[in-house]
Structure formats: structure tokens, C-alpha cells
Amino acid sequence: MGRILKELRPVYVVGIGLHRYQRASEKTYVELGLTAIREALQDAKIEWEAVESSYVGTAKLGMAAGRAMLRHLGTTGTSITHIENASATGSSAFRQACIEIAGGFSDVALAVGVDKVDPMPRAFEKNGIKDLASDAIVPFTHFALLAHDYMSRYGVTDEQIAQVAVKNHRNGALNPYAHRQKERTLDEVLSDDPISGSFTRLQCCPIGEGASAVIVASEEGIKRFGIDPSRAIRVSASVSRSERVYEPGAGFDAELTRETTAIALKEADITVKELDVIEFHDAFTIEELLYVESLGLCGPGQAPHLLAEGAMDIGGQVAVSPSGGLLAMGHPTGPTGLGQIAEVTRQLRHEAGPRQQPKARTGLAHMVGLGSVCVVHVLQRP
Amino acid sequence: MIDQIALRPSVFSIRGTEELPDRPSLKGCQCKCGYVFFPRQYFGCESCGRFGDDIENIEMSGRGKIREFATVHRSQRKDLPAPYIVATIVLDAGVVIRGLLDVTDEKQLSIGQTVYSTLSSVGRDEDGREIVDLRFSINQSN
Ligand SMILES: [Zn+2]
């Protein structure tokens, strides 16, 4: 029988840093990544020499991105490992860093996600299996189809789904690291360029460039480097799962999310009601509603009502995507999952400024990635 | 008719099934464990891991019901100008697939509507033969 994170050495997030998510620029990934890492080191108030191991999450840069970036911090000869897990790349880099601390291999470890807007070679398309129309049904259409099913199944309107974009853009407008920092009205969301099905451009996440860095440490690491323990946030669960065979036609993203989040809550030994902050993989509006239901915050078809009541707003029952989520904060891919951890940490430290969910103690970060894979973390203020 | 060739011959057949002879059929597989899947492959069954000879070819009739649909306004395929319409279809065989519809306005569509496979001309090969791809149509007559 395997162990769960909580049974091993306690792991704490002690430093977070980001480079704003943005449209493609002239900046190299090295500059983006170093900005995020230096900010994380400064946040933890430690020197680079304290970091004993680094996990570099990138989905698009290609081979050997890590040392070419990290050497500019002053070489220390420590371990560098690259992680790719589609949209969950950053989440998996974070998980590996947590495992390294929990297992006692290091006392301080870095997970950094960085990506530019590069075309991705997609291995899963090289499997030699021809399909009928998968190349005509890319992710935005996959989720547009799920949105149509959801609307017809529960009598929900496209306006109700578009409200997710209104909320997340409102949150993103308060986040200096967000790709989209402009509030949008429902009319603006609905009248934007059509993409697929009921989705307009503002109901689909922007894919730009950026970087996120998270430093994790053991209790020994916190003591040894004089890190402020009152700003350290405990990682209480780390769960990674992949898609199985479900009933024909079942929404596999929601099913996979259901089982992964259930395990994460159990490992953290909390109920869904204890969550104050959630960052979901809301690459498309419908996803947030589906995952709210998968997590068990409400019954099937009820999420639009929860949203309309303001229960998912900052200041509501549980702040969902206070960073702006993928919809407004953006989805540069490698950084995305780590950007979620940074936001949840900021919230649980009560340092989120105008985005602060009052009295936040417990948060959850969730990513799904093509394939499909799902990675979920629960963080708690000690 | 004999001068037509399928764009993706491993995915569908111009010939129909015994049950539905006038409609192109879809090439699926059934594993010894009972799991039926599409598209066809012998690398291994996703449900149980059996492979090779334990996986049998089946031909699925080109008829099913619409589960959901969407008009796509941004195409990633040069040979497929937007807008086009796609649907999730529950085939009579019980397998859920996604395909392109031979329909220009989604107002003609409803959930639960029966659709039939049909061949759509997508060009000609070097020998002048017509290349056809599979679409789904709402018309019962071919
Ligand atoms: Zn099988």
C-alpha cells in the first residue's frame, strides 16, 4: 500500500513568485522564468543557495530548458528535472517538489513553470490511430459540446454559463499578474467573437506566455534558513489521477475530477464545506460549473444557481477562481498549475489584497490536462 | 460509385452493414471482454488490456441519435472552412462518437434526432477518383 502526503514529513509553501501572464512578447523564457524565481526567493527571504532541487514545468519549450535558465541564479550543482503533463504540467512539477520534501530528499525545493507561445508537438496525435473528426473537434469545441449537453439536460441558458466569465474577469481585473485585467459585462461576453457553440472568445482562456515559481520546504528547512513560519502554508494533500473507461458518453473531465477531488479531500481529512478558496481548470466557462458539481459543492445542474446567488464570488461561501482563473488570469500552460498554488497561498496567508476571501483557511487547486490527467492539491493555513 | 475512395479507410467503409446496407459503416472493434470501441486499433483494449487476436473487427451501422451539437466558428483545418457543424452521436451499436454533420444551419437540428452516415466529396486523387469523407445527415433518403 502506498503512502499519502500527510503520512510523510510535513510540506509547506514558503515562497511564491510570478511573471505576469501576457501575450507573446520579445522576452525570452529565461527572463520570464528568472523573474518568477527571484520573486519567490525574495518572498521566502532565502538565497538561491538554499534550494536543493528544482522541477521545471514546461509543455512547449522543448528539451533542456531548465539549466539554461537556472544557471543565471549562480550555479549550485543541484538536481534539475523537467516535467511535462499537458495543462497539468505546473501542478505536477509542484507535486514532485512536494514529494521530494515529504520523502526527506531535500529540505527546500523549487517548482517553476514557464512557457512561451510556441507550437506544441502533440505526441498523442502520433499514436497511429486515425479518427473520424477529432482534428475538427479541438478542446474549445469539445467543451462547447459539453455546454450544449449541460444546457439541454438542466434547462440552463447560455447567459447563465457566460456569467462564469463575468465573475472571473471581475476577479482578474484585481490581479496584477493576470493576462486579462479588464472587467466585462454579460453583454460584452455574449457579443464577443463567436468561437464554437455558445462560446465567445471571452468564454475561452487566453493562451499567452508567463512564469510561476513556488518554493516548498520541510520544517527543518524553515528552521535552518530562518523562514517566517507564520507565512508558511501546509500542503495537506497531493493527488494525481488519469482517465479510466467510464459509461459511454459520460463527461470524462467531470468524472475524473470527481474521483480525484474526492481522494484529495479524504487525504486532507476535510469536507467540501471547509473549502474557502478554489482554483479550477476553467479553460472554458462550462468547466467551472461542471467541476463545482463534481467536487460536490452542489447537485447536478445547480451550479448556475450557486453562481447567481454570489456563493462563488470573493466574499461568498467559497471564492472560486479568485485569481481570475484560466479565463482571465490566463493559461500559459507550464506556469498555470503553479500560478494556482501561488494564488491559493496568497489567499491563505491573507495577503491577496482586494481579491482576499475573508478568513480563508483552506484552499484547493485543480487542473486537468489533455490525455486526460487530473492533479489536485489541498493547502491549509496552519 | 466504384470510383470512390474513402479519405480515412481505416475509420469507415463506403459499404454498409447487413442491417443498414445503404449507409456507409463505421469500423469499430470488440474485445473478448465485451468492450466495444471506435476508432479501430489493436494496440490493446482500454478496458482490460487484451490485445492483438483478442480484439475483433466489427462493422457498425451508420445510424444514431444526436446527443449534443455545436456550430464551430474557428477551423484549425485548412480543408474545412468554418462555420461547420459537429455533433456527439450515440450510434445504434451503443458507441458514442463525434463527427461532422452534413447540415448548414443548426436550426434544423434537435437533441435526440436520428442521423444517418453519408459520403461527402472532398476532392480527387491522382487517378481522378473521387475522395469521400464521412458525414452525418438528417435525411433518411441517401
Ligand atoms: Zn477488453
A99 is written with which cell numbers?
A: 514529494
- Say if residue A71 is in the same domain as residue A183: no
pLDDT band at A120 (very low <50, low <70, confident <90, very high): confident
CB contact under 8 A, B67 and A149: yes
Give mean pLDDT, residues A273-277. Answer: 98
User: What percent of chain A is modeled with pLDDT above 70?
Assistant: 100
Residue B1 pLDDT greater than 70, yes or no: no
> Does some domain include residue A128?
no
Residue B142 pLDDT greater than 80, yes or no: no
Which chain B residues are within 8 Å of A196, Cβ to Cβ?
A: 70-74
Total-model pTM: 0.97
- Say if residue A53 is in the same domain as residue A185: no
Residue A129 pLDDT greater than 90, yes or no: no
- Say if residue A221 is in the same domain as residue A255: no
Ligand 1 centroid, distance to B55 Cα (angstroms) = 8
Which chain B residues are within 8 Å of A127, Cβ to Cβ?
A: 43
In angstroms, the CA A363 to CA A344 distance is 6
Smallest CA–CA distance, residue A351 to chain B, in Å, is 40
| Sign, CA torsion A337/A338/A339/A340 | positive
CA A32-A38-A42 angle, to 5 degrees, is 145
Mutate to test the interface with A, among B13, B98, B122 (most CBs of A within 10 A): B98
- Say if residue A295 is in the same domain as residue A277: yes
pLDDT tens-digit map of A60-71: 999 999 999 999
Give mean pLDDT, residues B98-125. Answer: 96
pLDDT band at B63 (very low <50, low <70, confident <90, very high): very high
Give mean pLDDT, residues A227-244. Answer: 98
- Say if residue A265 is in the same domain as residue A328: yes
Residue A21 pLDDT greater than 70, yes or no: yes
A7 is written with which cell numbers?
A: 503520512
Residue B2 pLDDT greater than 70, yes or no: no
pLDDT for position A112: 98
pLDDT tens-digit map of B8-25: 899 999 999 999 999 999
Residue A156 pLDDT greater than 80, yes or no: yes
| CATH code of residue A13 | 3.40.47.10
pLDDT for position A12: 98
Give mean pLDDT, residues B51-56. Answer: 96
- Say if residue A228 is in the same domain as residue A243: no
| Structural domain boundaries, residue A78 | 5-118+207-233
pLDDT tens-digit map of A294-320: 999 999 999 999 999 999 999 999 999
- ipTM of the complex as predicted: 0.96
Smallest CA–CA distance, residue B59 to chain A, in Å, is 14
Give mean pLDDT, residues A194-198. Answer: 98
Other Cβ atoms less than 10 A from the Cβ of A219: the count is 16
- Say if residue A330 is in the same domain as residue A301: yes
pLDDT for position A122: 77
Mutate to test the interface with B, among A132, A146, A158 (most CBs of B within 10 A): A132
In angstroms, the CA A153 to CA A171 distance is 29
- Say if residue A219 is in the same domain as residue A368: no
Which of A131, A144, A248 lies closest to B70 in CB terms? A144
Contacts of A14 (CB under 8 A, 6+ apart): A44, A46, A108, A215, A216, A217, A221, A222, A227, A231, A232
- Say if residue A264 is in the same domain as residue A170: yes
In angstroms, the CA B97 to CA A105 distance is 47
Torsion of CA A302, B114, A132, A286, to 10 degrees: -10
pLDDT band at A119 (very low <50, low <70, confident <90, very high): confident
Nearest chain A residue (CA) to B83: A196
Which of A136, A145, A248 lies closest to B80 in CB terms? A136
